[in-house]
Homo-oligomer: A and B are copies of this chain.
Amino acid sequence: MKNTYFTPGPAELYPSFYTHLQTALDEQIGSISHRSRRFQDIYRHTDEQLRLLLNIPATHRIFFTGSASEVWERILLNCVEHESFHAVNGSFSRKFYDYAQSLHKFAHLFEKPFGQGFDAADIDVPEYAEVVCLTHNETSSGVQMKPADMHKLKRKYPKKLFCVDMVSSAPYPDLDFGLIDSAFFSVQKAFGMPAGLGVWIASEACLEKAERLQQYDSLTIGAHHTLPTLWKNAQTFETPATPNVLFIYILGKLAEDFNQIGIANIRRQTEEKAKAIYKFLEGSEAFEPFVKEERHRSQTVIVANTRRSSADVIASARMANMVVGSGYGKLKDSQIRIANFPATSAEQVEQLLRQLAR
C-alpha cells in the first residue's frame, strides 16, 4: 500500500503528476532537443502558467536552475556588490546568510530565535545593504513572514532589491511583484513534484544590477546561470545550458491544473487545512503548536512539539501509511513537521489528525 507523504519536501506528489509524466513519456519529451521549437513552446507554456498563478508581471522573468539552493548563490553573485541583509530565524534563512559569507559578501544578520517570526516593524535594514533577503516560510521552524510585512518593508526601503525565499510555500504567498524584485522556489514542495528543479523569478532591476557588476574586475557574477545569460536566453524561451526539460514540462502542466482550480481556491484550501491542523494541535494533550504567535504560523509547514518522542509518533503514523516529517536538527526528537501542500486533500489531513489523536 502506498504512503501519503506529509513531509515538508520532498513531499507527496500531486495526483495529476502521474498523468503528466505519462503524457511526457508518450511524447518523448525526455529526448527532445532543448534547442528545438518544441522546447521553446514548453518553456513558454510553463512561463505563462506560472505568471498567471503567481501574478508575475512583464518586468520579471522566470528561469530554471538545478535547485532553489543554487538560486541563493545566483542572487548573491548577481545582485550584491558588497552588502546583503538577512532576516534569519531558522536553518534555511541561515544557509542563505552562510552562502553570502562564503561568497565574501559583507552579510548583515538580524536573527530571531527558532520559532519566532518577523514583522515589518522589527526590521531596520542597514544603510549600505543592497539586497534584503527574506524567507516567506522557514521550513525548519514552521514560521512564516506575511507578504504584507514584506511589501511594507520594501516601501520603506524602495531602493534596495527585495528577494524572497518562497521555497516551501509557493504558490501560497500572494507576493506583489511590483514590490518584490526576486523570489524563488523548488518543485518538490508545494508543487508536488520530485526534486530536481529550481525556479527563479527576477526583475529588470536585478538584471541591471548584474549587468553593472559584470563590468567590474574586482568581482565575478559567476559563470554558470548568470542572470544576463539566463535573461538573454529566456527572451526566446531558451536556456544557456541543457535544463531539466521533463520537469519544466510537468511543472507547466501542474501550474495549469492549479490555475484551473484557481489560485484563490488553492490559498483558501491551504488555509482551511492549516486551520484544522492548528486547531487539532491546540486541543491536543499530546501536541502543541511550536510557533506561539498566530500571525507567524506557517500555513504550509506546520511544526508541533510532541509530548512523547517524535520517533514514536512518526512510527505510529507510518504503520497507518502516513509519513510525517521529524523536527529539524536539534529538535528532531521533540517535534514533528506536517506539510500542508496542495497534493494532500482535506480528507487526507483529517485522516492524519485522526491518526495523531490515537
On chain B, the residues within 8 Å of A29 by CB distance are 194
The listed residue (B21, B33, B241) touching A67 by CB distance below 8 A is: B241
On chain B, the residues within 8 Å of A70 by CB distance are 66, 70, 224-225, 241
Q: Is A114 an interface residue (CB 8 A)?
A: no
On chain B, the residues within 8 Å of A17 by CB distance are 30
**Contact yes or no, B34 A224, CB < 8 A:** no
The listed residue (B11, B21, B222) touching A31 by CB distance below 8 A is: B11
Interfacial residues of chain A within 195-233, with CB under 8 A of chain B in the complex: 195-198, 217, 220-226
**Contact yes or no, A247 B72, CB < 8 A:** no
CA distance A99 to B1 in the complex (A): 48
On chain B, the residues within 8 Å of A194 by CB distance are 29-31, 244-246
**Contact yes or no, B31 A10, CB < 8 A:** yes
Q: Is A18 an interface residue (CB 8 A)?
A: yes
The chain B residue with its CB closest to the CB of A343 is B31
Q: Is A98 an interface residue (CB 8 A)?
A: yes
Per-residue contact bits, chain A 92-126, to B (CB 8 Å; 1 contact, 0 not): 00000011101110000000000000000000000
The chain B residue with its CB closest to the CB of A195 is B242
CA distance A72 to B11 in the complex (A): 31
**Contact yes or no, B28 A73, CB < 8 A:** no
- A residues near B, CB below 8 A? 2-3, 5, 7, 9-13, 17-18, 21, 25, 28-34, 65-67, 69-70, 72-73, 76, 98-100, 102-104, 186, 188, 193-198, 217, 220-226, 240-247, 323, 325
Which 9 pairs across A and B sit closest by C-beta, in order of nearness?
A: A66-B66, A196-B244, A30-B194, A69-B241, A99-B223, A102-B223, A73-B224, A5-B31, A194-B246
Given contacts A66-B66, A99-B224, 15 further A-B contacts (CB under 8 A): A7-B31, A7-B33, A10-B34, A13-B31, A17-B30, A66-B244, A69-B240, A73-B222, A103-B220, A103-B222, A186-B242, A195-B243, A196-B245, A222-B222, A244-B244
